[in-house]
């Protein structure tokens, strides 16, 4: 489809069943190869949705506002959220697009329903009828779970047809994954359980765990005991021995889905259909139907070593990246660290952005392909979430787009898009790792920046007067010392002023303290404007002020300074029944030979009180 803008199939899911997700995406990529469709897999962070509710849900929905959207595929059992499923169904209806729901049933969808019992029955009957397995242990999932209990019942019925029974002690529960399976096997054998002829596992993950456990005991599969699984994940196919299993007919399912999309009409939006998806049976090494080959086993081990090396290298690189960026507090410093990291694992397309304060502005962090990265303009992510959409849709090197928001439980920080050519479980895992590490590092930078801003604000509050915004005594002295130490200040003259408002008590007594406070703020504004660009000013407390002016050889005229301050203060105060006036004292010296500040402050105070006495 080179040069042609493909249509996007938006796939919504979570990471909680990554092996089945990987298998489905691999099959979907194969089904869309050479067609006018491009899969876009959008995953979400369940903890963020649960913590922030509607806000997080709205942000997640934004990921599906993309051009050339042809339809939706919702992996309902992985999503496990009626709120998310229903919102996406409603979105598809508004856009007049088809929505395919996998494993759960909703109105307004084309529901794709796996025929689980049919698939599991094909495996169990093969083990019982073709291999004569009547002495079995069933490794079920979660106790009481319908997927577990229905398959246990089916096993019992098939065994009874052959004259065998399935006593309760021959049923163990592995909760669908490896560690609980190991514990269940320990309990079984420690309780006196005998080695059966076969273990019937109701998914491949537990079948792999059983094979590993038996190998540790020195038991050979399938020579000493047979093992079967179910669901057909790729690790089961790549395991040594490979697992006898059944897998959904993904090629048939996706073929039906694409054909349905090809002939879709907008007036069909909101249609409810149900399409059964059968399973395909695969007899493999774990039951002895497929011979184990040394070359095959060697290749699997080699592939596993390569995968483990890549995993180790990637985690190490990400760890070094986190260590390098953990003390950063600016995006300008952070952004250059990204391209060297991501260029080590080149893909046809990378894009990551951080959201601005208005939650619509997206500032690019990473943009490019392979090992070539460049700059991108700031985007409006609700209008154009990625640059060069046409190039993405027409680039045959991109076989799937992976999209995820960069989220914490508190907020959505940004988002990441990766265009991938060679799909594998490791590629999927790497994308998830990149999202997690990038989100963590970016969150650290943002928190560091906010902490720095908070510290600056705390320092500002500690050194500024809350009423006027001028420095307080502490801040004034610290800033004045800094100014006097500058090389460019050494040839200047410092004039230090002390000012005291006249008749503040009278204003307070006659018009109220709120008017007295207003008069203080007006006088402060007069001082600020008089000093602006030439020095600094402070309110020491009450009606007392201090300010400093740095100038050339000429000392500023105190009377002109006082007149300017009073004029500005009266103008700011407006028509009042009182006039704002102030007493003023000052002293001056050369900066390079200035006496201690305490001495200068004392001198300016002395002249202030002399002026105040004279004005009375």
pLDDT at 42: 93
Residue 38, SS3 per DSSP: strand
Q: What kind and span of H or E run contains 604?
A: helix 597-615
In a domain, 545, yes or no: yes
Q: What are phi and psi of 583, to 5 degrees?
A: -90, 150
Pairing outcome for strands 245-248 and 279-282? antiparallel
Average pLDDT over residues 207-214: 97
Confidence of residue 604 (pLDDT cuts 50, 70, 90): very high
CA distance 268 to 265: 6
User: Does the structure show a pLDDT above 80 at 3?
Assistant: no
Task: Specify the range with the lowest mean pLDDT, choosing from 87-91, 294-298, 520-524.
Answer: 294-298
Cα distances from 447 to residues 45, 278, 318, 407, 458, in angstroms, run: 20, 50, 19, 14, 16
Inform me whether the pLDDT recorded for 462 exceeds 90: no
DSSP structure class, residue 129: I
Contact assessment for residue 274 and residue 105, using Cβ atoms and an 8 Å cutoff: yes
Q: Has residue 311 got a pLDDT over 90?
A: no
C-alpha 45/C-alpha 403 separation (Å) is 12
Find residue 285's DSSP bridge partners. none
- Residue 63 domain-assigned (yes or no): no
pLDDT band at 302 (very low <50, low <70, confident <90, very high): low
Residue 411 Cα to chain centre, angstroms: 8
- Mean pLDDT is highest, among 294-308, 516-530, 553-567, for 516-530
Q: Is 513 within the bounds of a domain?
A: yes
pLDDT of residue 4: 67
Considering only residues 582 and 318, tell me which one the structure prediction assigns the higher pLDDT: 582
Position 360 pLDDT exceeds 90: no
- Residue identified by tokens 């995006």 is 331
Residue 136 sits at φ, ψ, to 5 deg, of -130, 160
Select the more confidently predicted residue: 4 or 29: 29
What pLDDT is attached to residue 319? 84
Phi-psi region of 585 (alpha: psi -120 to 50; beta: other; left: phi over 0): beta
In a domain, 527, yes or no: yes
Domain boundary among 197, 220, 248: 248
Q: Average pLDDT of 504-511?
A: 93
Q: Does the structure show a pLDDT above 50 at 241?
A: yes
| pLDDT over 70 at 299, yes or no | no
Final residue of a domain: which of 248, 265, 280? 248
pLDDT at 265: 95
Which CATH number characterizes residue 176's domain?
A: 3.40.50.2300
The domain in which residue 216 lies consists of 116-248
Give the pLDDT band of residue 296 (cuts 50, 70, 90).
Answer: low
pTM for the model = 0.75
Residue 1 is predicted with a pLDDT of: 46
Residue 317's φ and ψ, nearest 5 degrees, are -60, -40
CATH number at residue 508: 3.30.70.270
pLDDT digits over 370-400, tens only? 778 888 888 888 788 888 888 889 999 999 9
Contact (CB, 8 A) for 142 and 173: yes
**Average pLDDT for 124-136:** 97
Asked if residue 123 is part of any domain, the answer here is yes
What mean pLDDT is reported for the chain? 90
Asked if 211 and 182 touch (Cβ cutoff 8 Å), the reply is no
Distance CA 463, CA 473 (A): 7
SS3 category, 412: strand
Looking up tokens 């876009």 gives 40
What confidence tier does 480 reach under pLDDT thresholds 50, 70, 90? Answer: very high
Buried/exposed 414-441: b ≥16 CB within 10 Å, e otherwise: bbbbbbbbebebbbbbbbeebbebbbbb
Q: Say whether 426 sits in a helix, a strand or coil.
A: helix
Q: What is the pLDDT of residues 559-592, one digit of tens each?
A: 999 999 999 999 999 988 899 999 999 999 999 9
Closest CA to 256 of 271, 269, 273, 270: 273
Instruction: Give the angle subtended at the CA of 127 by the CAs of 121 and 133, to the nearest 5°.
Output: 125
For residue range 526-548, what is the model confidence (pLDDT) as tens digits?
999 999 989 999 999 899 999 99
Domain assignment of residue 481, yes or no: yes
- Higher-scoring residue by pLDDT: 434, 188: 188
Does residue 42 lie within any of the structural domains? Answer: no
Could you tell me which residues are beta bridge partners of residue 363?
A: 354
pLDDT of 292 above 80? no
User: Where is the domain boundary, 232, 248, 264?
Assistant: 248
Task: Say what the pLDDT of residue 65 is.
Answer: 85
Which of 258, 268, 262, 275 minimizes the C-alpha distance to 97?
268
Which of 269-278, 310-319, 520-529, 550-559 shows the lowest per-residue confidence on average (mean pLDDT)? 310-319
> Which tens digits make up the pLDDT trace of 163-193?
999 999 999 999 998 999 999 999 999 999 9
**Domain count along the chain:** 2
In a domain, 397, yes or no: no
The set of residues, in sequence order, having a beta carbon less than 8 Å from that of 168 and lying 6+ positions away, is none
What's the mean pLDDT in 56-74?
89
Cα distance between residue 351 and residue 409, in whole Å: 23
């Amino acid at each position: 489809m080179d040069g042609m803008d493909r249509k996007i199939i938006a796939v919504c899911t979570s990471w909680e069943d990554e092996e089945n997700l990987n298998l489905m995406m691999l099959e979907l990529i194969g089904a869309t190869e050479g067609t006018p469709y491009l899969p876009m897999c959008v995953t979400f962070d369940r903890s963020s949705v649960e913590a922030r509710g509607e806000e997080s849900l709205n942000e997640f929905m934004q990921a599906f506002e993309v051009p050339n959207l042809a339809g939706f595929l919702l992996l309902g059992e992985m999503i496990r959220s009626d709120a998310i499923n229903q919102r996406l169904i409603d979105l598809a209806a508004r856009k007049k697009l088809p929505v395919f729901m996998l494993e759960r049933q909703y109105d307004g969808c084309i529901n794709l329903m796996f025929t689980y019992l049919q698939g599991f029955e094909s495996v169990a009957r093969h083990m019982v009828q073709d291999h004569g397995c009547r002495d079995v242990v069933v490794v079920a999932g979660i106790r009481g779970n319908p997927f577990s209990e229905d398959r246990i019942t089916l096993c019992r019925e098939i065994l009874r047809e052959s004259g065998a029974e399935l006593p309760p002690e021959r049923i163990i529960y592995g909760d669908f994954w490896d560690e609980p399976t190991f514990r269940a096997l320990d309990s079984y054998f420690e309780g006196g359980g005998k080695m059966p002829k076969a273990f019937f596992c109701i998914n491949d993950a537990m079948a792999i765990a059983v094979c590993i456990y038996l190998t540790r005991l020195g038991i050979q599969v399938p020579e000493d005991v047979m093992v079967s699984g179910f669901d057909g994940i790729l690790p089961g196919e790549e395991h040594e021995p490979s697992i006898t299993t059944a897998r959904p007919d993904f090629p048939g399912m996706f073929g039906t889905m694409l054909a349905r999309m090809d002939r879709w009409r907008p007036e069909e939006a909101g249609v409810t259909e149900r399409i059964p998806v059968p399973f395909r049976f695969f007899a493999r090494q774990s039951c002895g139907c497929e011979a184990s080959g040394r070359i095959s086993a060697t290749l699997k081990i080699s592939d596993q070593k390569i995968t483990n090396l890549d995993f180790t290298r990637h985690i190490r690189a990400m760890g070094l990246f986190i260590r390098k960026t953990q003390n950063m507090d600016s995006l300008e410093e952070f952004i250059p660290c990204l391209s060297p990291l991501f260029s080590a694992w080149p893909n046809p397309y990378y894009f990551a952005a951080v959201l601005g304060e208005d939650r619509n502005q997206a500032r690019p962090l990473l943009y490019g392909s392979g090992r070539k990265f460049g700059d991108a303009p700031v985007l409006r992510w609700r209008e154009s979430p990625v640059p060069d959409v046409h190039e993405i849709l027409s680039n045959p090197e991109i076989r799937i787009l992976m999209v995820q928001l960069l989220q914490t439980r508190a907020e959505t920080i940004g988002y990441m898009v990766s265009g991938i050519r060679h799909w594998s479980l490791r590629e999927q895992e790497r994308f998830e790792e990149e999202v997690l590490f990038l989100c963590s590092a970016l969150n650290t930078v943002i928190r560091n920046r906010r902490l720095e801003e908070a510290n600056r604000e705390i320092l500002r509050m500690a050194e500024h007067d809350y009423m006027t915004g001028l420095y307080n005594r502490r801040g004034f002295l610290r800033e004045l010392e800094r100014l006097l130490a500058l090389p460019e200040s050494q040839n200047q003259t410092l004039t230090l002023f002390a000012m005291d408002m006249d008749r503040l008590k009278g204003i307070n007594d006659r018009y109220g303290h709120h008017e007295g406070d207003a008069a203080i703020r007006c006088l402060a504004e007069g001082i600020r404007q008089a000093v602006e660009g030439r020095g600094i000013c402070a309110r020491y407390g009450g009606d007392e002020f201090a300010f400093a002016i740095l100038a050339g050889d000429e000392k500023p005229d105190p009377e002109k300074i006082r007149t300017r301050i009073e004029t500005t203060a009266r103008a700011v105060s407006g028509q009042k029944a009182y006039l704002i006036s102030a007493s003023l004292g000052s002293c001056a010296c050369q900066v390079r030979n200035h006496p201690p500040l305490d001495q200068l402050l004392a001198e300016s105070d002395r002249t202030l009180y002399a002026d105040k006495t004279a004005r009375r």
